[in-house]
Amino acid sequence: MSSHPIGGPCEDRGNPIKATLRPRRGRARYGPLVRAYVGLGANLGDREATIRRAVALVDELGGVAVVGVSSLRETEPWGPVEQPRYLNGAVALETDLRPRELLDALLDVERRLGRARDDEERWGPRTIDLDLLLYGDLVLDEPGLDVPHPRLHERRFALEPLAELAPDALVPGRGTAAELLRALETPPQETGPQADAVH
């Protein structure tokens, strides 16, 4: 196995999850609610504590309610940079924020948890990484905002927790989370050194 869950299953969240959407300041009415999924990753410091804190901060955002939290998994680092192992998970949200507002709010949570992007290299180690994986069935390709996350379909560390929360979640143009995860699974006859790679 390339990754294994640590902590409890998604029912045992270890976080107080509010059941209702907290309104955004200055707004009397909600817009349409959208189901979104956010990937969580950390490989510096107390990874689990930081991720738990991130979930709580996301849940406290105006216009956002966390409605599901996956198990956390220890995963081998993906990409060209040599770095410590990651802890990865995902959350399901209901939100009436627009995609750009949601991304900005997620980047702000990263900053509040001490992430300093200026000191980082691409795909390098980080205290916390929040990736907007899916926003309903929306497809967006804008400067600084790609939805679905452009590398979601090729990353086991993102697909596994997503499929745990919502196996039928549709990655537009590619298939469901469960189908994409199955497609990443190495056929038994190809088991070898490469089979341990985490995507």
- Active-site annotation holds for 137: no
- The rounded distance, in Å, linking the Cα atoms of 129 and 141 is 20
- Residues 26, 27, 33: CA angle, nearest 5 degrees: 145
- Active-site annotation holds for 131: yes
Asked if 74 interacts with ligand A4P (CB under 6 A), we say no
Active-site option among 126, 137, 141, 168: 126
Instruction: Using CB under 5 A, count the residues that bind Mg ion.
Output: 2
Return the residues of window 163-192 that contact ligand A4P according to CB under 6 A: none
Which listed residue (59, 74, 110, 129) binds Mg ion by CB under 5 A?
129
For residues 181 and 133, the answer to whether their CB atoms sit within 8 Å is no
The radius of gyration computed from the CA coordinates of the chain, to the nearest angstrom, equals 16
For residues 83 and 43, the answer to whether their CB atoms sit within 8 Å is yes
- The rounded distance, in Å, linking the Cα atoms of 143 and 22 is 29
CB of 67 to ligand A4P, least distance (A): 19
- List, by residue number, the catalytic residues: 115, 126, 129, 131
By the criterion CB under 6 A, which residues form the site for ligand A4P?
41, 75-79, 86, 88, 103, 117, 122-123, 129, 131-132, 144-147, 149, 151, 157, 198
